[in-house]
Amino acid sequence: MNKDSIKLDFVGVGAAKAGTSWLATCLGEHPAVCMSEPKELNYFCEKKIWPAFRAAHQLGPRWLAERFAHCEPGNRLGEFSPSYLCDARCPELIVQHNPNCRLIFSFRHPVEALFSFYHQIGKEALVADTLAGFLRDQPNIYRIGLYHHHVQNFLRVFPREQCLFLLFEDIKRDPLAVLRQCFSFIEVNNDFVPPSLTKQINEPKVPRSKLLTSMMYWAKCQVEASGERMRRFVWKLQLYRLHHLIMQCSLKRFTPTPMDPKIRRQLLDLYRNDTRALAVFLRRDLSRWEA
């Protein structure tokens, strides 16, 4: 691998909580594919959907190449970062990197995805005890579910044939068929069956200690707010691995409580027009997303 620059063959651009971690894991198990280490680089991000998320574009092409140093020559190179979908600048940055890059989108019922995102953030940050409180504290976070709106930014610079659109429901119903579709899309053998085909990735968990969570979240925010030199130093020492290990060890399983019906109705109303536009665009029946 060129240590100074590479070209990604495909990028998973989201949406958040729509099976992207599972997709990245299964694609990475294909012998002809190599995924970034770690999974979510956010290299093409200028705008973050959450304060502690990375926005790594300013770290440069050599930094990107280092995330693929483990790959073999001839591998199809890819990475998944759900933050890309909501960043209006992202499509231009990807096309500048590689105009032939292929994009993989995955969509999920926007209300269910937002509820899952709330619990995901709760693994690493102190958030409100209820979804209503979370939405009050983060009034613009609902935008992660405006899928049709975000897709248009990508279609302004990428032809539709370079885009693959998936639904989370299809992944749940027939995961192997979805993966074969992905393998064909990125032009690798589609007969391969990944070991993680039936595994659950990112199961629901909550922190055991609010104090530890607060401290680790503060440290992560400090790194993201620091200059490029400090961020490069953190990456060079692979301290993100230590952060991930500590956070994973501090989590415990839990069963989410049902969403407040009133909040659900409000969110359904908020997403209705975008959902209907997406249904027309994909030529799929998304009526279940309106309930």
Q: What residue ranges do the domains of the chain occupy?
A: 10-204+255-290
**Which pLDDT belongs to residue 203?**
72
Question: Between 26 and 38, where is the model more confident?
Answer: 26
What separation in angstroms does the CA of 95 have from each of 10, 83, 101?
A: 11, 17, 7
What separation in angstroms does the CA of 62 have from each of 74, 75, 177, 208?
A: 19, 18, 36, 38
Report d(CA 280, CA 100) in Å as an integer: 26
Check whether the bond before 38 is cis (ω within 30° of 0).
Answer: yes
**Which pLDDT belongs to residue 260?**
93
Read off the DSSP letter of residue 31: T
Report d(CA 94, CA 80) in Å as an integer: 13
What confidence tens digit (pLDDT) does each residue in 151-184 have?
A: 999 999 999 999 999 999 999 999 999 999 999 9
What confidence tens digit (pLDDT) does each residue in 246-288 have?
A: 777 777 777 778 899 999 999 999 999 999 999 999 999 999 9
Specify the CATH architecture of the domain 10-204+255-290.
Answer: 3-Layer(aba) Sandwich (3.40)
**Which pLDDT belongs to residue 290?**
95
Could you give the 3-state DSSP secondary structure of residue 51?
A: coil
**Which pLDDT belongs to residue 282?**
98
Neighbours of 103 (CB within 10 A): 24
DSSP element (H, E) containing 66: helix 60-66
Query: b/e map of 46-72 (b: 16 or more CB within 10 Å)?
Result: eeebeebbbbbbebeeebbbbbbeebe
pTM, full prediction: 0.88
Q: Is 225 exposed, middle or buried (0-12, 13-18, 19+ CB in 10 A)?
A: exposed
